[in-house]
Amino acid sequence: MAAEDHAPRTKPHGDKSKKRKKPKKDKWGQPISAAADAEVPLVEPEQEPPAEDPAAEAEEAPAPVAEGYEPSKVVASGLPYSTTEAEIRKLFEFYGPVRSVQLSRFPDSGQFRGLAFVCFESDEIAASSLELDGFKIGNRFMRVERCRVTAGSNKKRKAEFQTDPEKSEGCLSAYVGNLSWNVTEKDLRDFFKSSKIASIRFAIDKRTGGSRGFCHVDFQDDESLEKAVAMNQSELQGRPVTVAYSVSNRG
């Protein structure tokens, strides 16, 4: 009797243990198989690579250019007016391949005004070229900086990058630029002493009332004009003066 009483007691105990090991059911009441449980961990590693790809691409991508500046482009100013495009290109090619060099010119005369835009093949090269800031060319110190994006500047640049203008029929006037702020009419008459001057018209800054650094000189005859133009890049008060045929603005 004792043995018979002991035996049934082990069966309920065994039954309970089996119930605890029953597989869990999903929300539809279906049992989740062991194979399905084994597949669950495999889903997460497959989802990880897509999350890593954007990070990897971000590391390979170049650093963004500061807002308001054109990528891979710098502007060089303060150059002597006698500087050529070839000389500017050779100077900047020391840092890497140069795509283009654009010379800014005076709208009136078409003469180079000491300002150039240099575009490189990469923004990294452009950043390296900033080392030229303060570089001395002739008796002037060049300034090199990032090229700012200027809204509506395309129309202005179109006029600036045109070729040097030819002498128009009946022209007796010359554009004279890169003048020192304190140059007087007497200084200019002495400068063009071999020519007969009819009048001198200085460009005046409306805000300050001072000279804007250029003027137009009207001559009495064609011979006087030709002599004056031949003095282009001659020095006046320590500065190379630009002298070119005057071109009327046509809007």
CATH number at residue 238: 3.30.70.330
Choose one of 160, 192, 225: the last residue of a domain.
160
Asked if the structure places residue 91 within a domain, the reply is: yes
Three-state SS sequence of 33-99: CHHHHHHHHHHHHHHHHHHHHHHHHHHHCCCCCCCCEEEEEEEEECCCCCCCHHHHHHHHCCCCCEE
Asked if the structure places residue 155 within a domain, the reply is: yes
CA dist., res. 198 & res. 40, Å (int)? 96
Token pair listed for 73: 């482009």
Q: Please report the pLDDT score of residue 46 as a whole number.
A: 47
Question: Which range marks the domain in which residue 189 is found?
Answer: 173-245
**How many CB atoms neighbour CB 234 within 10 A?**
14
CA dist., res. 102 & res. 116, Å (int)? 6
Q: Within this chain, do residues 89 and 132 fall inside the same structural domain, yes or no?
A: yes
Asked if the structure places residue 11 within a domain, the reply is: no
Q: Bridge partners of 217? A: 174, 200
Asked if the structure places residue 218 within a domain, the reply is: yes
CA dist., res. 74 & res. 79, Å (int)? 14
Choose one of 102, 130, 160: the last residue of a domain.
160
pLDDT in tens, the chain (251 residues): 444 455 545 454 545 545 555 666 665 666 655 544 444 444 444 444 455 554 444 444 444 555 677 889 998 988 898 899 999 999 999 999 999 998 888 766 678 888 889 999 999 999 999 999 888 888 888 889 988 875 444 444 444 444 445 688 889 999 998 888 889 999 999 999 999 999 999 988 888 888 888 999 999 999 999 999 988 888 888 888 888 888 754 43
Q: Within this chain, do residues 210 and 146 fall inside the same structural domain, yes or no?
A: no
Q: Within this chain, do residues 182 and 209 fall inside the same structural domain, yes or no?
A: yes
Number of domain units in the chain? 2
Residue 129 · residue 82 · CB < 8 Å:
no
Asked if the structure places residue 2 within a domain, the reply is: no
Choose one of 137, 160, 183: the last residue of a domain.
160
Q: Within this chain, do residues 183 and 136 fall inside the same structural domain, yes or no?
A: no
Q: Within this chain, do residues 186 and 129 fall inside the same structural domain, yes or no?
A: no
| Alpha-carbon dihedral 202, 205, 208, 210, rounded to 10 degrees | -20
Asked if the structure places residue 15 within a domain, the reply is: no
Asked if the structure places residue 144 within a domain, the reply is: yes
Q: Within this chain, do residues 228 and 187 fall inside the same structural domain, yes or no?
A: yes
Token pair listed for 56: 């990897």
Asked if the structure places residue 205 within a domain, the reply is: yes
Token pair listed for 98: 């140069």
Q: Within this chain, do residues 178 and 152 fall inside the same structural domain, yes or no?
A: no
Q: Within this chain, do residues 84 and 148 fall inside the same structural domain, yes or no?
A: yes
pTM of the full structure: 0.39
Q: Bridge partners of 200? A: 217
CA dist., res. 72 & res. 125, Å (int)? 7
